[in-house]
């Protein structure tokens, strides 16, 4: 029987999607140990404060311009004594970050079962996104419980012969969004047309990000009354290009990374969302916002097939054409709003624990 769980994460998207797991575990009377790697130190704290989550241990692994191998090695070395001392009955990890991979493998070395939230996402290209695609493949071989957000993700796991228990639960990020958006509804205006942009993924650094910024410049000229909101990631590779390309335009708000509450508010106020974020692809459909995905491939293909998102890549002209159509063609815009999100109903955490305890009871 499970009495104590460990929840490990390092980035804000992981924290958002694991917060409902923490709440549900505590509601069920389980002891919860929260471990953060410190990978997104500044971006993580406001979210943890908002949801009143206090980490038990911070690994403090963040260093400037850190190589992935150094980050992985640091997490390994710091997790071993923690696991040897705490000996949780189960470790929860989420998604595909280096923290997720390193913590999962650390637990495996100690023969502690791992539960993988948001399991089964695949692009089938091991270098895109990098290193996330390989991280989630490797966690898929380590974990004992695989909680897929969608039927497609579940089929990926089954087709790979994934060991352990696999089930479809929906996405816990929608759980967090449901709770947050209900609190914010009264404060949202959304009177002015607004385009929210997030672009920070490693594979978009350099020329792809420059092309995205060029598209924003063209859209500024086409829609001078439109407001453009771009929270700028702290990575210097993002900061330098974005500020050089867009810093002189008064229609563009270049903001520091937003805490979760503020970002949800910006999503709710937006007319259109441009993003290379996996989490936003899942969240925005719940809010009925058109999403244009700034990537060449996505492991969240269900959203594209359902009509809640469109994959536009990073070519300037395609981005400009798609956004222009959304702002001028009401039927096209409404097609996004009428589509049904494939990412769940906002109660995934409950389903995860129902599946988990059902499996434990059977064994």
Residue 40 known to be catalytic: no
Residue 230 half-sphere exposure, CB side, CA atoms within 13 Å? 27
Angle at the Cα of 349 from the Cα atoms of 344 and 352, rounded to 5 degrees: 95
- Could you say which of 202, 203, 218, 315 is catalytic? 202
User: Where does the chain have alpha helices with state H?
Assistant: 12-27, 41-50, 68-86, 98-109, 132-142, 151-159, 172-184, 207-222, 236-246, 260-269, 278-283, 301-306, 316-328, 330-338, 348-362
Angle CA(299)–CA(319)–CA(297) in degrees, nearest 5?
Answer: 15
Active-site hit among 12, 165, 233, 300:
233
Is 60 designated active site? no
Q: Which of 14, 116, 35 is nearest to 80 (CA)?
A: 35
Active-site residue 41, yes or no? no
96 is catalytic: yes
- Residue 132 falls in the annotated catalytic set: yes
Rg (C-alpha) for the chain, rounded Å, is 20
Angle of the 12-27 helix axis to the 348-362 helix axis, nearest 10: 60
- Please tell me the distance from the alpha carbon of residue 239 to that of residue 354, in angstroms, as a whole number: 43
**Of 24, 132, 133, 259, which one is the catalytic site residue?**
132
Q: How far apart are the first and last CA of the chain?
A: 10
DSSP reduced 3-state for 5: strand
Catalytic option among 12, 136, 146, 200: 200
Catalytic residue among 12, 24, 40, 96: 96
321 is catalytic: no
Active-site entry in 24, 118, 175, 259? 118
Contact of 272 with 323, CB cutoff 8 Å? yes
Residues with active-site annotation: 96, 118, 132, 200, 202, 233
């Amino acid at each position: 029987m499970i009495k104590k769980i460990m929840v490990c994460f390092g980035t804000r998207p992981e924290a958002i999607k694991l917060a409902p797991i923490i709440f549900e575990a505590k509601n069920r009377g389980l002891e919860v140990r929260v471990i953060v790697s410190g990978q997104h130190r500044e971006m993580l704290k406001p979210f943890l404060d908002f949801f009143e989550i206090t980490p038990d241990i911070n690994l403090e692994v963040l260093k400037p311009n850190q190589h992935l191998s150094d980050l992985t090695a640091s997490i390994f070395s710091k997790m071993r004594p923690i696991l040897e001392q705490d000996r949780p009955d189960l470790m929860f990890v989420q998604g595909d970050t280096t923290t997720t991979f390193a913590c999962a493998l650390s637990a495996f070395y100690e023969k502690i079962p791992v539960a993988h939230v948001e399991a089964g996402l695949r692009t089938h290209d091991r270098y895109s996104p990098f290193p996330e695609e390989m991280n989630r493949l490797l966690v898929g071989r380590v974990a004992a419980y695989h909680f897929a957000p969608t039927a497609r993700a579940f089929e990926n796991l089954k087709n790979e012969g994934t060991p352990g228990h696999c089930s479809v639960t929906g996405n816990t990020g929608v759980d967090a969004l449901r709770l947050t958006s209900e609190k914010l509804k009264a404060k949202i205006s959304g009177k002015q047309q607004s385009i929210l942009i997030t672009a920070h993924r490693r594979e978009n650094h350099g020329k792809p990000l420059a092309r995205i910024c060029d598209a924003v410049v063209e859209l500024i000229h086409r829609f001078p009354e439109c407001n453009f909101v771009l929270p700028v990631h702290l990575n210097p590779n993002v900061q330098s290009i974005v500020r050089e390309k867009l810093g002189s335009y008064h229609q563009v708000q270049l903001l520091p990374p937003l805490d979760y509450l503020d970002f949800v508010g910006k999503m709710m106020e937006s007319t259109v969302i441009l993003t290379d974020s996996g989490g936003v692809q899942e969240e925005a459909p719940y809010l009925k916002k058109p999403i244009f995905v700034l990537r060449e491939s996505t492991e969240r293909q269900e959203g594209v097939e359902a009509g809640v998102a469109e994959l536009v890549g990073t070519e300037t002209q395609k981005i400009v054409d798609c956004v222009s159509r959304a702002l001028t063609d009401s039927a096209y815009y409404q097609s996004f709003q009428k589509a049904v999100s494939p990412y769940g109903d906002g109660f995934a955490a409950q389903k995860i624990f129902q599946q988990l305890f059902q499996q434990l009871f059977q064994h």
